C-alpha cells in the first residue's frame, strides 16, 4: 500500500524551469518554488540561447520565462518552443504590462503573463496550468479587457535613411564597432545615430529595440 502511494506521489512530481537574467529575482523565485510540495526539480538559465542549447529544458513541465532578456528575448523563446511542439507550459514574467507584449506572448504560445510584483499565487498558477488552464493576474486581465475596447495604435516613426540602415544592422546583432567598420563611420557618429534611434522608438536596450521593430514592422 505504501509502495503504491509512493508511485502515485511520484507521478504528481513536476519539474520547473526558470529563464531569468536578474540573479536577485531568479533566486527569489527559485526559493518560492522550492517550498512547493509537488516540485521535484528546478532548472535555471539566464539567457534564451543557453536554454535552447540545453537538452534538459525538454524535461520540464512549466517554464517561468522573463520577457526582457539579452540576445533572444522571451517572446522569441516561447515562439521557438511552440514551433518545436515541445510540451512545455510557459508563463511570461515581466515588470512591464505592455498590451503589445501581452498579446505577442499569448500569440506565440504562452499560457500566462505574470508581473514580477505579483508572485503571491505561485502554487495556484502551477495548479491551473497542470489542470489545462491558463493564468493571468487581475492587473493583466484588466489590460486585456481594456484592449478590446480600443485598437492598438502603431507608433508613427520617422527614421532617416542612415538611421534605417544602422537599425537594420543592429537588429541583425551587429555591435557598434562592427556597424562603424561596415559603414565606414566613426564609432562616435554611430553612437549618435543609435541614441537618436532609441529616442524615436522609445526603447532603452537591444531587446526592446528588436521587439519594437518586430511588433510594428518598422523595417
Q: How far apart are CA 64 and CA 216, in angstroms?
A: 26
> Which H helix or E strand runs over 35?
none
Residue 188 is given by DSSP the state H
Per-residue model confidence (pLDDT) at position 132: 87
Tell me which residue of 214, 212, 179 sits closest to 194, measured CA to CA.
179
Q: How far apart are CA 196 and CA 219, in angstroms?
A: 16
Q: How far apart are CA 115 and CA 92, in angstroms?
A: 8
CA dihedral (58, 64, 70, 72) in degrees, to 10, reads: 50
Per the listing, cell 526582457 goes with 68
Per-residue model confidence (pLDDT) at position 53: 94
Q: Helices 74-83 and 99-107, interaxial angle, to 10°?
A: 20
Per-residue model confidence (pLDDT) at position 212: 79
Q: What are phi and psi of 64, to 5 degrees?
A: -90, 115
- Distance from chain centroid for Cα 30: 17
Strands 14-19 and 62-66, bridge-based pairing: parallel
Using CA atoms, how far residue 62 sits from 16, 65, 127, in Å, is: 5, 9, 11
Q: How far apart are CA 170 and CA 176, in angstroms?
A: 8
Tell me which residue of 19, 146, 42 sits closest to 93, measured CA to CA.
19
Q: How far apart are CA 113 and CA 139, in angstroms?
A: 10
Per-residue model confidence (pLDDT) at position 104: 82
* Reported pTM: 0.62
CB 48 within 8 A of CB 19: yes
| Tens digits of pLDDT across the chain (219 residues) | 443 334 334 447 899 999 999 899 999 999 999 998 889 999 999 999 999 999 999 999 999 999 988 888 898 999 999 888 678 999 998 887 677 777 788 888 899 888 888 788 788 888 888 888 888 777 667 766 666 655 555 667 788 999 999 998 988 888 889 999 999 999 999 999 999 998 888 888 777 787 778 777 776
Amino acid at each position: 500500500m505504501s509502495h503504491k502511494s509512493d508511485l502515485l506521489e511520484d507521478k504528481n512530481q513536476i519539474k520547473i524551469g526558470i529563464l531569468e537574467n536578474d540573479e536577485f529575482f531568479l533566486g527569489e523565485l527559485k526559493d518560492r518554488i522550492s517550498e512547493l510540495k509537488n516540485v521535484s526539480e528546478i532548472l535555471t538559465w539566464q539567457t534564451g540561447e543557453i536554454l535552447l542549447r540545453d537538452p534538459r529544458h525538454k524535461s520540464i513541465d512549466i517554464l517561468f520565462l522573463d520577457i526582457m532578456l539579452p540576445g533572444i528575448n522571451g517572446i522569441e523563446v516561447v515562439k521557438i518552443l511552440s514551433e518545436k511542439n515541445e510540451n512545455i507550459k510557459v508563463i511570461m514574467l515581466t515588470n512591464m504590462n505592455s498590451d503589445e507584449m501581452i498579446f505577442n506572448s499569448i500569440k506565440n504560445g504562452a499560457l500566462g503573463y505574470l508581473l514580477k510584483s505579483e508572485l503571491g499565487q505561485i502554487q495556484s498558477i502551477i495548479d491551473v496550468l497542470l489542470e489545462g488552464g491558463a493564468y493571468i493576474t487581475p492587473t493583466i486581465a484588466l489590460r486585456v479587457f481594456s484592449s478590446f475596447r480600443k485598437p492598438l495604435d502603431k507608433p508613427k516613426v520617422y527614421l532617416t535613411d542612415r538611421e534605417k540602415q544602422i537599425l537594420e544592422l543592429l537588429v541583425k546583432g551587429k555591435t557598434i564597432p562592427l556597424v562603424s567598420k561596415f559603414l565606414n563611420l566613426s564609432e562616435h557618429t554611430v553612437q549618435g545615430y543609435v541614441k537618436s534611434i532609441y529616442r524615436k522608438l522609445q526603447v532603452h536596450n537591444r531587446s526592446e529595440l528588436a521587439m519594437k521593430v518586430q511588433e510594428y514592422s518598422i523595417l
